[in-house]
Structure 1
Amino acid sequence: MFILIVVLMSISLIGIIAVQLYWINNALESKQAQFKNDVQKSLGAATERINEKEISTFQKKINEIISKEGLAGTAELKQHLIQQIDTSTNTKITVGGTFLEENFKLTSDFLNHDSIIYKRVTGRTDFSKLSLIKSPDELFPKLDEQRFSFTRRYTEFDRLQTIEILNFVNNRKLIHQRLSNKDLNAIIKEELVKRNIVLDFKYGVYGSDGLATKLKSGYYTIDTKDSFKYPLFFDPLGNTTYNLHVTFPDKNDHILAGISNILLLSLFFIFIIIIAFSSSLYQLIRQKKISEIKTDFINNMTHEFKTPIATINLALDSIKNPKILGDDSKVLRYVQMIRDENKRMHSQVENVLRISRLEKNQIDLSKETIDLHDIIEDAITHVSLLIEDRKGKVSTHFKAIVSELPGNQFHLTNVVVNMLENAIKYSEGAPIIDVYTESTSKFFVFKIKDSGIGMSKNVQKQVFTKFYREQKGNIHDVKGHGLGLAYVKEIVEKHHGTVFVESEKGKGSIFTVKLPLI
Structure 2
Amino acid sequence: MSRNTIRLILVVGTLSIIGILLIQAYWVIKNYELKEKEFDLTVRLSLKNVAENILKYNHNSSPLVDPVAEISPDFFTVKVNDKIDSNLLGGLLRNEFLKEGIKTDIFYSIYDCMGKRIDVTGMVCFDSTSTCTATVTGNLPHWNYDNFYFSVYFPEREKVLLSGMKLWLISTIVLIVLIIFFAYVLFVVFQQKRLSEIQKDFINNMTHEFRTPISTILISCEVLKDSKIIDNPQRLNSYAAIIERQAHRLNQHVERVLQMAKIDKGNIQLKHEQINIHDLLLEALSKLNSSGNNESLTIEYNFLAENPIFMGDRLHLLNIVFNLLDNAVKYCEKDPKVIVTTEENNSDIVIRLADNGIGIALEYQKKIFEKFFRVPNGNVHNVKGFGLGLNYVKNIVKAHNGHIELKSQIEKGSIFTVTLPRNK
Task: Read off the aligned partner of 2:51 and give its amino acid letter.
Answer: T
Greater shift, 303-312 or 374-383, is seen at 374-383
Candidates 25, 32, 40, aligned match of 1:36: 40
For 1:10, the aligned partner's letter is: T
Matched, 1:450 2:355: yes
* 2:310 paired with 1:389: no
Q: Answer whether contact 1:434 1:448 (CA < 8 A) is retained.
A: yes
**Is the aligned partner of 1:438 residue 2:359?**
no
**Which residue is equivalent to 2:265?**
360
1:13–1:273 CA contact under 8 A, matched in 2: no
1:10 to 7, 14, 23: 14
Which runs of no fewer than 5 residues in structure 2 stay unpaired? 65-78, 120-135
Distance 1:24 1:455, change over 3 A: same
How far 1:39 sits from its partner (Å)?
A: 1.7
- Partner Cα separation in structure 2 for residue 431 and residue 339 of structure 1: 26
Matched, 1:404 2:310: yes
User: 2:104 aligned with 1:197, yes or no?
Assistant: yes
Asked if structure 2 preserves the Cα contact closer than 8 Å seen for 1:453 and 1:507, the reply is yes
Cα distance change of structure 1 residues 203 and 176 upon mapping to structure 2, 3 Å threshold: closer
Q: Give the Å deviation of 1:460.
A: 0.6
Higher strand residue share: 1
- In 2, the alpha carbon distance for the partners of 1:377 and 1:267 equals 65
> Equivalents in 2 of 1:5, 1:47: separation in Å?
63
**Does the 8 Å contact 2:349/2:419 carry over to 1?**
yes
Deviation, 1:181, is 9.6
Cα deviation 1:153-191 (Å, max 9, x = unaligned): xxxxxxxxxx59x99xxxxxxx78833596897567645
CA 1:204/1:491 → structure 2, altered by over 3 Å: closer, same or farther? farther
**Do the aligned residues in 2 keep the contact of 1:20 with 1:266 (CA within 8 Å)?**
no
- Counterpart of 2:375, as a letter, is E
Q: Is residue 206–residue 386 contact of structure 2 (8 Å, CA) maintained in 1?
A: yes
> What's the secondary structure of 1:179's corresponding residue?
coil
Determine the C-alpha separation between the residues in 1 that align with 2:356 and 2:157: 68
Amino acid at match of 2:272: E
Letter in 2 for 1:178: D
8 Å CA contact retained: 1:46, 1:191? no
Preserved CA contact (<8 Å) 2:336 2:355:
no
TM-score (norm 1): 0.59
Distance 2:97 2:318 in 1: 78
Paired AA for residue 141 in structure 2: Y
Match of 2:53 in 1: 49
Tell me the secondary structure at the aligned position of residue 462 of structure 1: coil
Structure 1 residue 280 displacement after superposition: 3.5
Distance 2:160 2:183 in 1: 34
CA distance in 2, matches of 1:301, 1:402: 37
Please say if 1:351 is aligned against 2:256.
Answer: yes
Q: Distance in 1 between matches of 2:401 and 2:91?
A: 70
Shift in CA distance, 453/15, structure 1 to aligned 2, threshold 3 Å? closer
Please report how far the alpha carbon of residue 417 of structure 1 lies from its aligned counterpart in structure 2 after TM superposition. Answer: 1.6
Amino acid corresponding to residue 287 of structure 2 in structure 1: H
CA contact (8 A) 2:342 2:352 kept: yes
Indicate the RMSD between aligned Cα atoms, in angstroms. Answer: 4.3
d(CA) in 1 for partners of 2:88 and 2:412? 83
Q: Distance in 1 between matches of 2:142 and 2:366?
A: 60
Match of 1:86 in 2: none
Residues 1:502 and 2:407 aligned together: yes
Q: TM-score, normalised by structure 2?
A: 0.70
Distance 1:350 1:6, change over 3 A: same
Match of 2:215 among 289, 297, 310: 310
Q: Specify the alignment match of 2:177 in structure 1.
A: 272
Q: What letter corresponds to residue 317 of structure 2 in structure 1?
A: L
CA deviations over 1:210-241 (Å, ceiling 9, x no partner): xxx9999934399xxxxxxxxxxxxxxxxxx9
What are the equivalent positions in structure 2 for 1:75-474 lying under 5 Å apart?
163=61, 178-179=82-83, 186=90, 190=94, 194=98, 195-200=102-107, 218-220=139-141, 248=154, 251-256=157-162, 258=163, 265-266=170-171, 268-361=173-266, 363-371=267-275, 373=277, 375-383=280-288, 389-399=295-305, 404-405=310-311, 407-427=312-332, 428-440=334-346, 444-470=349-375, 473=378
Match of 1:155 in 2: none
1:454 is paired with a residue of what secondary structure?
coil
Quick check: 186-195 or 336-345, which moved more? 186-195
Larger Rg belongs to: 1
Calculate percent identity across the aligned residue pairs.
31
Deviation at 1:392, TM superposition (A): 0.5
Give the Å deviation of 1:46: 1.5
Structure 2: which amino acid aligns with 1:429? D
Q: 1:5 to 1:189 in 2, by over 3 A?
A: same
Q: Secondary structure at the residue paired with 1:389? A: coil
